[in-house]
Amino acid sequence: MTLDQYGTDLPDLASVRKEAIRSVRELLNLRHSEHLWTGDAPWKVWVTDQPDAAGQTVLTLEVISR
């Protein structure tokens, strides 16, 4: 598990969704991303309203390989 210690302030849920998708896309495009996610099970990203996974979950993304 990796936590974001700083967070990012965004104006609305649409911006949160766009940034979360951009971040996931960037992570999966990194070299050696096969170590990050093998595709055997869903990969989940939780976005919370505070750094370090504190606060309320505002968005969850699940990446599934089919």
Q: What pTM was estimated for this model as a whole?
A: 0.74
Host domain of residue 17: 13-63
Q: State pLDDT tens for residues 5-27.
A: 888 999 999 999 999 999 888 88
pLDDT band at residue 1 under the 50/70/90 scheme: confident
Q: Is residue 30 part of a domain?
A: yes
Q: Is residue 4 part of a domain?
A: no
Least confident range from 30-34, 41-45, 60-64: namely 30-34
Q: Is residue 37 part of a domain?
A: yes
Tally helices (H) and strands (E) across the chain. Answer: 1, 2
Token digits of residue 26: 């960037």
Q: Which three-class secondary structure state does DSSP give residue 23? A: helix
Q: Is residue 8 part of a domain?
A: no
- The whole-angstrom separation of Cα 27 and Cα 32 is 10
Q: How many domains does the chain have?
A: 1
8 A C-beta contact, residue 11 and residue 57: no
